[in-house]
A and B are shown apart, each in its own frame.
Chain A
Amino acid sequence: MSTATQTPDRTDGGPALTVPPASGRAARLLRRWPVAVLVVLIVAPFSALPLPGLLDGPVGSPGSLQLLATCLLFGALATGYDLLLGRTGLLSFGHALYFAAGSYATNMFLLEAGLPFAVAAVLGLCSGIALALVLGSVSLRVTGIGFSMVTLAFAQAGSILVSRNPGGLTGGEEGRAAPAELLPSSLVGIDNTANLYWIALAYLVLTLGVVHWAVRSPTGRVWEGIKENERRVEILGLKPYGFKLTAFVLAGALAAVGGLVHLLLTGGSTPQTTTSDFTLSLLVMVVLGGSGTRWGPMVGGILYTWADHRLGDLAGSGAVAELPAVLRVPLSQPLFLLGVLFVAVVHLLPGGLARLPSRLRRPRKENP
């Protein structure tokens, strides 16, 4: 957990440079809100606070912790994905592949080679990075939307490969459960959900730290330049290809770590994580929250995941079953609601939720 307590301090130093010098202690304390949120999140498993409507049981119950951990995991995953979309301007449709690679490769090293968990995890992570390096270097040969289509094609190939179950390695449509006896005992079983929750939280903090550090580094400045105008970066004598590949591999590595966390959290690898729908849902999260912003993708990921789960519960509830067909059919499809919501956000709220406060403060100034 040492990363969990160290990284936010570093990232918190970030906004101080961009925000004009604030007066007074209160303002400085206010800027420390991420630390306060982090503390609340760390102690959440000890809380028995019920949040009716938001969660099914008290915050500390295994069911709620599982949902919260999933939310944090996807918040982190969306943040890592935005390294490409919001920071470098690369619209990748194949991000699910590296997430799935982290999960499946680790699982296979456990199942087939019987390696200890730590070794399997490192090897799984390396597999994800290697895959991102190879496929990234090919797909970055095309620019713009062509890049999007090529990444999508690769991800689709991965998805097909997983669902065909070559040599019984991937388990096909069923997926494969992780071997409980090879995992550390503190990460297995419903009693240990809190540990998994903390791992998901640590992954979120790690991702936020890495992304914010990378974006502020000299490489991050070049990414920003590429996003604004790739030709100009080229004219300055820099080769955008290498910088884009760095972003692609870094984002792929973060996704692979996410796959590892997902493997632990769900106790196995599922083919759903390889589909193009999975990447598209990441895209929805990022745009919903606000692409290219510090907290937006995280907020989008958390909200999307929570809404997806709760809408699923809503669809199965008796209240919906009694509605007339015109309302019942759309309400019973979470993806329909999320898709419509997404279109609405793109149209009505450019910049996503992260831009909402500033839009509310200065109403109608930007829209002529």
Chain B
Amino acid sequence: MSTIVLLTMTGLGLGALYFLIASGLSLIFGLMDVLNFAHGALLSIGAYGTWWAASGNLPGAGADGPGFVLAVLFGTAVGTLAAVLLELAVVRPLYTRPREQVLATVGVGLAVPALLSGIWGSDARTFPGPQALSGTFGLLGAEVPVNRLVLIAAAVLVLVALRLFLGRTRHGLVVRAGVEDRAMVTALGIDVRRAFTLVFAIGGCAAALGGALGGLYFGSVDPRQGTSLLIFAFVVVVTGGMGSVTGAAVAAVVIGLVQQFANYYTAAGLGDLAVVVLLAALLLVRPRGLTGRLA
């Protein structure tokens, strides 16, 4: 029983991490038809930004208490800024050429991890975190690490915020309409470009937050972390149905749980394979993903 509880919590924590990356990815894809290969790089930037600040390089920030919150905020802010810059400098000039937009993000996705490993080395760095988040708590007889809860809470918060934003605000309306039919929104005289930048900023913010919290989850940061998580986020986006935030949330939970349980009850590493097999099986039955959105 305690094993199952622990696996469930860990799986949900991983799923939360996947959701933080996949939500932005899914929105960007739905709105712009751009598969953002630099999204993993945004995650890495957030992780390194937080690590850098929490290691005592930013006045007021530190590894504990409010200092750590400041460090996470700093990392997230840097990631958001990087996302906006990415959109303005790399993606926007290729507005009419979706395929070239994808290719350009591939270039950024190669360059940023290389730059990070150039500055801080390619080896993993220990991630500093508050004492309160490194311990465990008892749940139904299992000792669950606290950081799993933090990740799950952050993902739920982002999901609620995104749904409120998309459902209740004017900007959200434009984004939702753009995901459904970009041509129509443009024809109505609404500047979709501003929505593009906004969606990139939101996506970058969520991904960078995922990077900061992913550091807690894994206990370390390394330049390749973002890219390897990105691939599972892709699986989540396809499984969930592209452009759907709720679909991404459901898929992230399923993928995270399947991966953890398969890794534990079969051989280590088979969980990663199981996820891909699951994707293949789903596509054979429902080529459009769980929610039946465009693919």
Contacts and interface: CB of A to CB of B under 8 A. Distances in A.
A161 interface: yes
B119 interface: yes
B173 interface: no
B185 interface: no
Given A142-B283, A156-B276, A347-B94, A329 B115 contact: yes
Interface stretch (B12-20, B64-72, B105-113, B135-143): B105-113
Interface string A126-167: 000000000000110111111011101110110011001010
B29 interface: yes
Given A336-B115, A346-B103, A347-B93, A284 B234 contact: no
Contacts of B276: 153-154, 156-157
A283 to B, nearest CB: 6
Contacts of A153: 231, 234-235, 238, 275-276, 279
Interface string B214-238: 0000000000000100010011011
Contacts of B117: 333
Contact of B104 (A150, A280, A347): A347
Contacts of B235: 149, 153
A230 B193 CA distance: 28
Interface string B71-98: 0000000000000000000100110010
Contact of A160 (B108, B234, B273): B273
A333 B90 contact: no
User: What's the interface size class on B, roughly?
Assistant: 35 or more
B97 to A, nearest CB: 8
User: What's the interface size class on A, roughly?
Assistant: 35 or more
Contacts of A157: 272-273, 276-277
Interface in A278-300: 280, 283-284, 287
A188 interface: no
B269 A333 contact: no
A307 interface: no
B181 interface: no
A91 B295 contact: no
Contacts of B109: 280, 339
B118 interface: yes
A152 B234 contact: yes
B103 A342 contact: yes
Contact of B107 (A145, A330, A340): A340
Interface string B248-287: 0000000000000000000111001101110110011001
Contact of A340 (B35, B103, B111): B111
A268 interface: no
A330 B90 contact: no
A160 B37 CA distance: 20
Residue among B108, B227, B267, B279 having the largest count of chain A Cβ atoms under 10 Å = B279
B192 interface: no
A340 to B, nearest CB: 5
Given A148-B35, A276-B231, A284-B106, A141 B93 contact: no
A146 B238 contact: yes
A321 interface: no
B99 interface: yes
B198 interface: no
Residue among A152, A287, A332, A346 having the largest count of chain B Cβ atoms under 10 Å = A346
B180 interface: no
Interface of B: 29, 33, 35, 37, 90, 93-94, 97, 99-100, 102-104, 106-115, 117-119, 227, 231, 234-235, 237-238, 242, 267-269, 272-273, 275-277, 279-280, 283-284, 287, 295
* Leading 9 A-B pairs by shortest Cβ distance: A339-B111, A339-B110, A342-B107, A335-B114, A343-B107, A336-B114, A157-B276, A164-B269, A146-B295
Given A153-B279, A336-B111, A347-B93, 12 more contacts: A138-B280, A142-B295, A144-B295, A152-B234, A153-B238, A156-B276, A160-B269, A160-B272, A161-B269, A284-B110, A330-B115, A335-B114
